[in-house]
Amino acid sequence: MGRLTWRPGTVLESVTETPRVKTLTIAAPEWPGHRPGQHVDVRLTAEDGYQAVRSYSLAAPASNGTVMVTVERLDDGEVSPYLVDEARPGDQVELRGPVGGYFVWEPALGGPLLLVGGGSGIVPLAAMLRVHAAAASDVPTRLLFSARSPDEAIFTAELDRLAADDLQLQVIATYTREAPADWTGYRRRVDREMLEEVAWRGADRPLAFVCGPTGFVETVAADLEQMGYAGDRIRTERFGPTGGTP
Protein backbone atom coordinates (compact mmCIF):
# COMPACT_ATOMS: atom_id res chain seq x y z
CA MET A 1 0.00 0.00 0.00
CA GLY A 2 1.41 3.34 -1.00
CA ARG A 3 1.31 6.62 0.81
CA LEU A 4 -2.16 8.05 1.32
CA THR A 5 -2.55 11.38 -0.39
CA TRP A 6 -5.25 14.05 -0.42
CA ARG A 7 -7.46 13.79 -3.47
CA PRO A 8 -10.02 16.30 -4.68
CA GLY A 9 -13.72 15.56 -4.32
CA THR A 10 -16.79 17.37 -5.56
CA VAL A 11 -20.19 17.01 -3.92
CA LEU A 12 -22.64 15.58 -6.45
CA GLU A 13 -25.69 14.98 -4.32
CA SER A 14 -26.91 15.40 -0.75
CA VAL A 15 -29.76 13.19 0.41
CA THR A 16 -31.59 13.70 3.71
CA GLU A 17 -31.76 10.46 5.69
CA THR A 18 -33.09 11.92 8.94
CA PRO A 19 -33.26 15.48 10.30
CA ARG A 20 -29.69 15.06 11.55
CA VAL A 21 -28.19 12.77 8.93
CA LYS A 22 -27.37 13.19 5.28
CA THR A 23 -25.70 11.00 2.70
CA LEU A 24 -23.31 12.82 0.41
CA THR A 25 -22.29 11.37 -2.90
CA ILE A 26 -18.90 12.79 -3.78
CA ALA A 27 -17.20 12.57 -7.17
CA ALA A 28 -13.65 11.43 -6.50
CA PRO A 29 -12.08 10.39 -9.79
CA GLU A 30 -8.71 9.57 -8.18
CA TRP A 31 -10.16 7.50 -5.30
CA PRO A 32 -8.31 4.14 -5.14
CA GLY A 33 -11.31 2.10 -3.96
CA HIS A 34 -12.03 0.64 -0.54
CA ARG A 35 -13.40 -2.34 1.36
CA PRO A 36 -16.73 -2.34 3.23
CA GLY A 37 -16.29 -0.91 6.73
CA GLN A 38 -13.36 1.35 5.88
CA HIS A 39 -13.26 5.09 6.49
CA VAL A 40 -12.36 8.20 4.59
CA ASP A 41 -10.76 11.33 6.03
CA VAL A 42 -12.62 14.41 4.79
CA ARG A 43 -10.76 17.72 4.79
CA LEU A 44 -12.40 21.11 4.51
CA THR A 45 -10.43 24.25 3.72
CA ALA A 46 -11.71 27.74 4.40
CA GLU A 47 -10.91 30.57 1.99
CA ASP A 48 -8.13 31.79 4.25
CA GLY A 49 -6.49 28.36 4.35
CA TYR A 50 -7.82 27.17 7.73
CA GLN A 51 -8.42 23.41 7.59
CA ALA A 52 -10.29 20.79 9.56
CA VAL A 53 -10.35 17.01 9.06
CA ARG A 54 -12.67 14.29 10.35
CA SER A 55 -13.04 10.63 9.51
CA TYR A 56 -16.32 9.09 8.28
CA SER A 57 -17.45 5.59 7.47
CA LEU A 58 -17.98 4.90 3.81
CA ALA A 59 -21.61 3.91 3.33
CA ALA A 60 -21.26 1.89 0.12
CA PRO A 61 -18.70 0.44 -2.26
CA ALA A 62 -17.12 2.97 -4.60
CA SER A 63 -18.84 3.14 -7.95
CA ASN A 64 -18.24 5.12 -11.11
CA GLY A 65 -15.63 7.31 -9.48
CA THR A 66 -17.87 8.32 -6.59
CA VAL A 67 -17.88 7.62 -2.86
CA MET A 68 -20.77 7.89 -0.42
CA VAL A 69 -20.45 9.10 3.15
CA THR A 70 -23.32 9.25 5.59
CA VAL A 71 -22.80 11.95 8.20
CA GLU A 72 -24.62 12.68 11.44
CA ARG A 73 -24.56 16.29 12.59
CA LEU A 74 -22.83 16.69 15.95
CA ASP A 75 -24.02 19.99 17.40
CA ASP A 76 -20.61 20.89 18.77
CA GLY A 77 -18.85 19.46 15.73
CA GLU A 78 -16.69 21.32 13.27
CA VAL A 79 -16.97 19.35 10.04
CA SER A 80 -20.28 17.51 10.37
CA PRO A 81 -22.47 20.65 10.61
CA TYR A 82 -20.93 21.85 7.35
CA LEU A 83 -21.42 18.53 5.59
CA VAL A 84 -25.01 18.14 6.82
CA ASP A 85 -26.31 21.71 6.71
CA GLU A 86 -24.18 23.58 4.19
CA ALA A 87 -22.62 21.33 1.57
CA ARG A 88 -24.43 21.27 -1.77
CA PRO A 89 -23.70 19.99 -5.25
CA GLY A 90 -20.55 21.52 -6.70
CA ASP A 91 -18.86 22.14 -3.34
CA GLN A 92 -15.30 20.97 -3.01
CA VAL A 93 -13.72 18.84 -0.32
CA GLU A 94 -10.61 16.69 -0.13
CA LEU A 95 -10.47 12.99 0.65
CA ARG A 96 -7.73 10.77 2.03
CA GLY A 97 -7.94 7.06 2.44
CA PRO A 98 -9.17 4.46 2.69
CA VAL A 99 -8.40 4.21 6.39
CA GLY A 100 -8.80 1.25 8.76
CA GLY A 101 -8.42 -2.40 7.92
CA TYR A 102 -9.94 -4.40 10.77
CA PHE A 103 -13.59 -3.38 10.94
CA VAL A 104 -14.00 -4.77 7.44
CA TRP A 105 -16.12 -7.60 6.10
CA GLU A 106 -15.77 -9.16 2.69
CA PRO A 107 -17.47 -12.33 1.46
CA ALA A 108 -14.20 -14.29 1.76
CA LEU A 109 -14.27 -13.75 5.54
CA GLY A 110 -17.37 -15.90 5.75
CA GLY A 111 -19.73 -16.16 8.67
CA PRO A 112 -22.35 -16.75 9.80
CA LEU A 113 -22.35 -13.00 10.01
CA LEU A 114 -23.96 -10.91 12.74
CA LEU A 115 -24.11 -7.14 12.37
CA VAL A 116 -25.33 -5.02 15.28
CA GLY A 117 -25.68 -1.27 14.80
CA GLY A 118 -26.75 1.51 17.11
CA GLY A 119 -27.82 4.86 15.64
CA SER A 120 -25.49 5.95 12.87
CA GLY A 121 -23.41 2.85 13.66
CA ILE A 122 -25.46 1.28 10.89
CA VAL A 123 -23.39 3.09 8.24
CA PRO A 124 -20.35 0.76 7.90
CA LEU A 125 -22.65 -2.25 8.35
CA ALA A 126 -24.78 -1.08 5.43
CA ALA A 127 -21.64 -0.98 3.29
CA MET A 128 -21.05 -4.64 4.20
CA LEU A 129 -24.63 -5.55 3.33
CA ARG A 130 -24.43 -3.79 0.00
CA VAL A 131 -21.37 -5.85 -0.86
CA HIS A 132 -23.04 -9.00 0.44
CA ALA A 133 -25.97 -8.40 -1.90
CA ALA A 134 -23.90 -7.29 -4.88
CA ALA A 135 -21.69 -10.37 -4.62
CA ALA A 136 -24.71 -12.64 -4.11
CA SER A 137 -22.81 -13.98 -1.11
CA ASP A 138 -24.16 -17.16 0.42
CA VAL A 139 -22.94 -16.17 3.90
CA PRO A 140 -25.97 -16.26 6.24
CA THR A 141 -26.30 -12.77 7.65
CA ARG A 142 -28.40 -11.09 10.32
CA LEU A 143 -28.50 -7.38 10.99
CA LEU A 144 -29.94 -6.04 14.24
CA PHE A 145 -30.18 -2.27 14.37
CA SER A 146 -31.35 0.03 17.12
CA ALA A 147 -32.74 3.50 16.55
CA ARG A 148 -34.74 5.88 18.71
CA SER A 149 -37.62 5.91 16.26
CA PRO A 150 -38.35 5.14 12.62
CA ASP A 151 -37.84 8.85 11.84
CA GLU A 152 -34.32 8.63 13.19
CA ALA A 153 -33.48 5.32 11.56
CA ILE A 154 -31.10 5.46 8.59
CA PHE A 155 -31.40 3.43 5.38
CA THR A 156 -34.58 1.60 6.42
CA ALA A 157 -36.06 1.57 2.93
CA GLU A 158 -32.83 0.30 1.43
CA LEU A 159 -32.40 -2.32 4.15
CA ASP A 160 -35.92 -3.60 3.51
CA ARG A 161 -35.14 -3.80 -0.20
CA LEU A 162 -31.86 -5.63 0.43
CA ALA A 163 -33.56 -8.08 2.78
CA ALA A 164 -36.29 -8.75 0.22
CA ASP A 165 -33.77 -9.46 -2.54
CA ASP A 166 -31.04 -11.17 -0.54
CA LEU A 167 -32.29 -14.52 0.65
CA GLN A 168 -29.36 -14.92 3.04
CA LEU A 169 -30.14 -11.67 4.86
CA GLN A 170 -32.48 -11.04 7.76
CA VAL A 171 -32.96 -7.51 9.10
CA ILE A 172 -34.34 -6.94 12.59
CA ALA A 173 -35.05 -3.48 14.04
CA THR A 174 -35.67 -2.22 17.53
CA TYR A 175 -37.03 1.23 18.31
CA THR A 176 -36.10 2.48 21.75
CA ARG A 177 -38.29 5.56 22.20
CA GLU A 178 -41.07 5.67 19.66
CA ALA A 179 -42.55 3.12 17.29
CA PRO A 180 -45.60 3.17 15.02
CA ALA A 181 -48.83 1.95 16.62
CA ASP A 182 -48.84 -1.12 14.38
CA TRP A 183 -45.18 -1.96 15.05
CA THR A 184 -44.90 -5.55 16.21
CA GLY A 185 -41.12 -5.65 16.61
CA TYR A 186 -38.87 -4.78 19.51
CA ARG A 187 -39.36 -1.57 21.49
CA ARG A 188 -36.38 -1.49 23.80
CA ARG A 189 -32.62 -1.23 23.87
CA VAL A 190 -30.65 -4.20 22.63
CA ASP A 191 -30.18 -6.58 25.55
CA ARG A 192 -29.04 -10.12 26.20
CA GLU A 193 -32.54 -11.57 25.79
CA MET A 194 -32.97 -9.89 22.41
CA LEU A 195 -29.56 -11.11 21.25
CA GLU A 196 -30.45 -14.66 22.36
CA GLU A 197 -33.55 -14.45 20.14
CA VAL A 198 -31.97 -12.75 17.16
CA ALA A 199 -28.28 -13.60 16.99
CA TRP A 200 -26.51 -16.76 15.86
CA ARG A 201 -25.61 -19.16 18.60
CA GLY A 202 -22.02 -19.05 19.82
CA ALA A 203 -21.63 -22.70 18.79
CA ASP A 204 -22.09 -21.61 15.15
CA ARG A 205 -18.73 -19.77 15.37
CA PRO A 206 -20.24 -16.53 14.08
CA LEU A 207 -18.33 -13.45 13.04
CA ALA A 208 -19.78 -10.28 14.60
CA PHE A 209 -19.40 -6.60 13.81
CA VAL A 210 -20.76 -4.15 16.37
CA CYS A 211 -20.83 -0.40 15.73
CA GLY A 212 -22.42 2.40 17.67
CA PRO A 213 -22.01 4.69 20.67
CA THR A 214 -19.45 3.49 23.20
CA GLY A 215 -21.94 2.31 25.83
CA PHE A 216 -23.98 0.42 23.22
CA VAL A 217 -20.93 -1.39 21.87
CA GLU A 218 -19.58 -2.23 25.33
CA THR A 219 -22.88 -3.84 26.30
CA VAL A 220 -23.48 -5.77 23.09
CA ALA A 221 -19.90 -7.05 22.80
CA ALA A 222 -19.93 -8.24 26.43
CA ASP A 223 -23.29 -10.00 25.90
CA LEU A 224 -22.02 -11.74 22.78
CA GLU A 225 -18.93 -12.98 24.61
CA GLN A 226 -21.16 -14.39 27.33
CA MET A 227 -23.18 -16.14 24.61
CA GLY A 228 -20.03 -17.95 23.54
CA TYR A 229 -18.80 -15.73 20.72
CA ALA A 230 -15.00 -15.81 20.53
CA GLY A 231 -13.49 -12.46 21.51
CA ASP A 232 -11.37 -12.41 18.37
CA ARG A 233 -14.49 -12.84 16.22
CA ILE A 234 -16.21 -9.77 17.63
CA ARG A 235 -15.01 -6.66 15.84
CA THR A 236 -16.07 -3.33 17.24
CA GLU A 237 -16.16 0.32 16.40
CA ARG A 238 -17.17 2.85 19.04
CA PHE A 239 -17.95 6.53 18.63
CA GLY A 240 -19.24 9.53 20.47
CA PRO A 241 -19.31 10.37 24.15
CA THR A 242 -18.71 7.60 26.65
CA GLY A 243 -22.00 6.11 27.75
CA GLY A 244 -24.17 7.37 24.88
CA THR A 245 -27.14 5.20 23.87
CA PRO A 246 -29.22 5.28 20.73
Tell me how far, at minimum, the Cβ of 99 lies from another protein, in Å: 7
For another protein, which is the closer residue by CB, 140 or 244?
244
By the rule CB under 8 A, 113 interacts with another protein: no
For another protein, which is the closer residue by CB, 31 or 103?
103
Helical packing angle, 122-134 and 156-165, nearest 10°: 30
By the rule CB under 8 A, 86 interacts with another protein: yes
By the rule CB under 8 A, 241 interacts with another protein: yes
Q: Which stretch binds another protein (CB under 8 A): 5-13, 116-124, 134-142, 191-199?
A: 5-13
What is the footprint of another protein within residues 200-239 (CB under 8 A)?
Answer: 214, 218, 221-222, 224-225, 231-232, 234-236, 238-239
Residues 6+ apart with CB under 8 A from 157: none
By the rule CB under 8 A, 133 interacts with another protein: no
By the rule CB under 8 A, 183 interacts with another protein: no
By the rule CB under 8 A, 1 interacts with another protein: yes
Q: Which stretch binds another protein (CB under 8 A): 48-56, 59-67, 121-129, 159-167?
A: 48-56
45, 149, 156, 168: which one contacts another protein (CB under 8 A)? 45
Phi, psi of 202 (to 5 degrees): -60, -35
